[in-house]
Amino acid sequence: MNLQDKKILITGASSGIGKATAIACAEKGMIVLIHYRDNLAGAKETLKEVSARSKGFLFKADLTREKQIETMFKKIKTEVGTFDLLVNNAGALIEGDFSNNDAWKQNFETNFFSAVHVTQQFLIQKTKSSLNKIVNVTSVYGHVDGGSAEFFAYSAAKAALANMTITLAKLDPNLRVNAVAPGYTMTPMWDTTSSQEKKKCVARTVINRFVAPEEIAQTITSIFENDAITGQIITVDGGLLLKTDI
């Protein structure tokens, strides 16, 4: 697929992987729809970067609320019409052990059901005769053998998103659905993590460093450019799962 002038919605694009993906898409000449929830300053910074390369628009919504998603899509239809590509990136790692039901609910609402509801609206508005594509951002914790006991509910929610990716890819010959599963990626989530803990994480990788958000973004745009990839979970973790001492 030639990405020039294609319209793409990227959720959670005010920072981190979402921001890097928005910039990478703009560099390909795409029209970028930048979603954010609360971080308006970050979203404006993303828009500034996008606008220096292509066209961009801002859209605000709390993706744990279906009505706000519906309102956002109505606004998108009014301002830019239908769009071709979707990146379900928005999410958060909410801590809580196996017995913490609030953590279970919050993780699934934030990391799974938000993507489900955005995808439902995307499929409603898409042009059925043209090729449409979705990339979901999961996690190495979402792999069947990669779940973290420390982040139990988060791992399960990301696993559900990975399974949805593979199953949804079977739905329509004009739809390509894939996922990228990042490992330790240097996003704002790590700002409050101690340097000692970061060193431990780095030591678990073959490349001996964190993955850069731009490397995840590069993977996402490459998936969009290739029309033969569908139903796949692409891991970008710097060799995390190759180490035996995790």
pLDDT tens, 53-74?
999 999 999 999 999 999 999 9
Task: Tell me which H or E stretch contains 132.
Answer: strand 132-137
Task: Tell me which H or E stretch contains 175.
Answer: strand 175-182
The stretches in the chain having pLDDT less than 50 are 246
3-state secondary structure of 83: coil
Taking every pair of Cα atoms in the chain, the longest distance, rounded to a whole number of angstroms, is 52
| CA–CA separation, 185 and 144 (whole Å) | 20
8-state DSSP, 126: S
| CA–CA separation, 196 and 13 (whole Å) | 29
State both tokens at 104.
């279970």
User: For residue 246, what pLDDT is reported?
Assistant: 46
Q: 151, 159 in Cβ contact below 8 A?
A: no
* pTM listed for this prediction: 0.94
3-state secondary structure of 244: coil
Closest CA to 41 of 21, 23, 15: 15
**Whole-number Cα distances in Å, 183 to 33, 49, 239:** 26, 25, 9
User: For residue 146, what pLDDT is reported?
Assistant: 82
In order of start, what are the domains of the chain with their CATH numbers? 7-242 (3.40.50.720)
Report the catalytic residues: 154
| CA–CA separation, 241 and 187 (whole Å) | 20
pLDDT tens, 134-166?
999 999 999 988 888 788 899 999 999 999 999
